[in-house]
Structure 1
């Protein structure tokens, strides 16, 4: 059983996202994003792009390299079927001088130099002119048959330069495995009884209150004996859905030295995947966000592909679900898979949320149905690029969608946003639009 040590020496279980809380998940005007349409111009038409993260400074602010901001994305050739993109995922970087128009700079790591047979999502730190690119090493380098071993790794030592022609990232990088599951707080692959095994998505965070240097990640809580786990309000079958948000701490502040600690949130009996965890700190608390799928909720819980969130008074506080159920942003019922992999960050009085344009125009098809479509139809219905950025307001334990920015518009701290208008125009589709205020019509 996973416990964490309190300052008074006592131990207690991590906060939980319970089945009773998640049972209240329901679309509302405050949580449903508008319908998304393909952008006029794709950021990289020869690539599938998904799971994007910003280059950030140690304090969490967006880093600027001589006037440019930089993002990293998982990518794959656009001629591959979208459903196979994770099997060959590589990290590329993109840069922009205005946060609207992005240029692909290329692969970050030369082929065969990073850990894993492919690299999945992570985070990026720029500190003292040094780049730390945290990533998930999926599989093993050089393997001939794909495996799903996951370890948390970092590439350091690269240089970032900028001139009138743009931004360049060059190696060599030194790669190091930072963290592997311990089998006590975090489930090893050989312990897994669930539908999906997870130990991934490292996210660097320095706590502004304590100065503590942390790495959050997605994991699973070990459930060695379901019959003995009476602290979970779920039957043994539901306990296989055992997602958690893990944490490691660097006592010295060195971004390459980490010690595992117990999770800061568990979803045992509720959900299997609490993907890409990250925190936004505001005056009213620590807002912890994760992405998850409708199919990873435990039996008896009807959730959506959505951004979920929780709030506490400290990083290791008693997290309560935002909007009572945890639901913060989801897609309309008529387009349930149009966006995914949300990333929230603060901007003045608002919270901005980026994501990628996923499957659209499915006309009631499930994702399982999509896999049986002709290849050309699978390609046509996959966006594979940056989605419109959402604008949120958050107060205490409540959030609300205010409107949207353009596809891939990622403002920095001092950038003024367009004024909020009265309403999104009804496009006649009959689809729900949770946003009642916006900058204008959603991109079509």
Structure 2
């Protein structure tokens, strides 16, 4: 199906669709894409942990699950007395739960026997029979003495939720290596010439139009040495991020076959992190997070949520807001949030992220390491940030407000009117009175 109603997309290098340098050259902060400045919450709900990349337990249809009145999320965590820059080296997955979408409780580590030296981000499925599946990234080789950085996509089955006496998530879990890069569509670590190798962030998605079951993930597209894909500019060829995809031929959450990537950004960006889909208004909105330092030479981007839209899951994706930029941090707090995750609620799209480094306006995050350790600790949020509210229509998005830290609305919860809605209501009331304001 052609994207006549959405405008023109662009072909990718190995993917059907591409994020091009022409698109990315249009990236700029606007009133519609800049989030409000964030301040630390008055009460840190989980003070004993650093909490960052987070995902929700979802049903097969993509909606956030509610299990006997509980919302459930999973996060990468580390002890809060650890220097924040070291947290990725010890990351493990913990479960959190809430019965009101505002106050959250620590459900403890999910696994005792996960694969990899540490675990990185993924997704979670609450299946129709009440079973829980977790998809995650196994980082590093099991049993290695030194940290290694190989990445495997893993699925864990066997989870169940018991609410007879409160909330508990139990195993026993079985862990299955699901996907490895093939070296042709998806780059292997030994092929990588980039700053950071990626084959991670699995995200489960069942297509509401076809019923087919898919797993999205972050990857890199192999670019042959000397290729003219970047007009012969070798400096750009290492910037080869892609959104990979695999299909389950049976719908089994633990059975997958690699397919060609959905979208790639060869010559544009090296990391298209945590790809995920929001299906709304009969359109497929593909979102990713990325950093300012992973854009190719000659391009300037931000730590931000970026997005694309198509009329089919495997369609011709068009960048949102012409450049792809959907939500970024303000210029005076460029690293205050990261790892955005979008989900639908009523007629809006809500966006959750973690509270990263605030009260810091350096050029790059590398400068954090030069601060005293006490300042590194003070300036790191390490908790969930406020939830952003977006309006989404066709290829355009707009930030229209925010909720509190950790606020993830329950099903059917009505949100307060946005400032824009209040202004519109006041204008309507004024018109109804013939243009005269009441005393």
- TM-score with structure 1 length normalisation? 0.90
Aligned to 1:43: 45
> In the alignment, which residue of structure 1 is the partner of 2:198?
198
1:58-97 C-alpha deviation (Å, 9 max, x unpaired): 1111111110010000000011110010000000000000
Which residue number corresponds to residue 430 of structure 1?
none
Match of 1:149 in 2: 150
Residue of structure 1 in register with 2:186 after alignment: 186
SS in 2 for 1:237: helix
Q: Is the 8 A contact 1:220 1:243 kept in 2?
A: yes
Gap change, CA 1:71 and 1:408, over 3 Å in 2: same
CA RMSD, Structure 1 to Structure 2 (Å): 1.5
Give the structure 2 partner of residue 389 of structure 1: 387
Question: Is the 8 Å Cα contact of residues 233 and 269 (structure 1) preserved in structure 2?
Answer: no
SS at match of 1:190: helix
Deviation larger for 130-139 or 155-164 = 155-164
1:57 pairs with one of 56, 59, 71: 59
Partner of 1:346: 344
Which SS does the other structure have where 2:263 is aligned? Answer: strand
Match of 1:438 in 2: none
Listed one character per residue, the Cα deviations across residues 239-293 of structure 1 (whole Å, up to 9, x for unaligned) are 1000000000001000000000010000000000000000001115110000000
Contact residue 293 and residue 364 of structure 2 kept, 8 A = no
Q: Contact between 1:203 and 1:217, CA under 8 Å: does it hold in 2?
A: yes
SS at match of 2:374: helix
Shift of 1:233: 5.2
- 2:227 maps to what in 1? 228
- Runs of 4 or more consecutive aligned structure 1 residues displaced over 3 Å after TM superposition: 363-366
Residue in 1 that maps onto 2:3: none
2:130 & 2:210 partners in 1: Cα distance?
24
Structure 2: how far apart are the matches of 1:144 and 1:106? 26
Cα separation, 1, equivalents of 2:292 and 2:363? 14
What is the aligned residue count? Answer: 409
State the match for 1:7 in structure 2. none
| More off after superposition, 316-325 vs 38-47 | 38-47
Structure 1 window deviating more from structure 2 (40-49 vs 328-337): it is 40-49
Cα distance in 2 for partners of 1:219, 1:57 equals 25
2:15, 2:264 within 8 Å by CA — same for their partners in 1?
no
1:402-421 alpha-carbon deviations (Å, 9 max, x no partner): 00000010113311101113
The answer (yes or no) to whether the contact 1:65–1:161 under 8 Å persists in 2 is: no
Tell me how far apart the structure 2 counterparts of residues 179 and 80 of structure 1 sit (CA, whole Å). 32
Of 63, 74, 77, the match for 2:76: 74
Tell me which residue corresponds to 2:366: 368
The answer to whether the aligner puts 1:319 opposite 2:321 as a matched pair is no
Preserved contact between residue 217 and residue 277 of structure 1 (Cα < 8 Å): yes
Q: Which residue of 2 aligns with 1:89?
A: 91
- What SS does structure 2 have at the residue aligned with 1:157? strand
Residue pairs, 1:180-329, within 5 angstroms: 180-225=180-225, 227-230=226-229, 232=230, 235-329=233-327
For structure 2, list consecutive stretches of 5 or more residues without a partner in the other structure.
1-12, 423-439
Deviation at 1:297, TM superposition (A): 0.3
Unaligned residue ranges in structure 1 (runs of 5+) = 1-10, 425-444
CA–CA distance in 2 between the matches of 1:12 and 1:190?
Answer: 19
Partner of 2:436 in structure 1?
none
In structure 2, the CA distance between the partners of 1:239 and 1:363, relative to structure 1 (3 Å rule), is closer
Aligned to 1:436: none
3-state secondary structure, aligned to 2:167: strand
**Structure 1 pair 13–163 and aligned structure 2 pair: CA distance change class (3 A):** closer
| Counterpart in the other structure of 1:5 | none
Structure 1 residue 12: deviation in Å?
Answer: 7.8
Partner of 2:377: 379
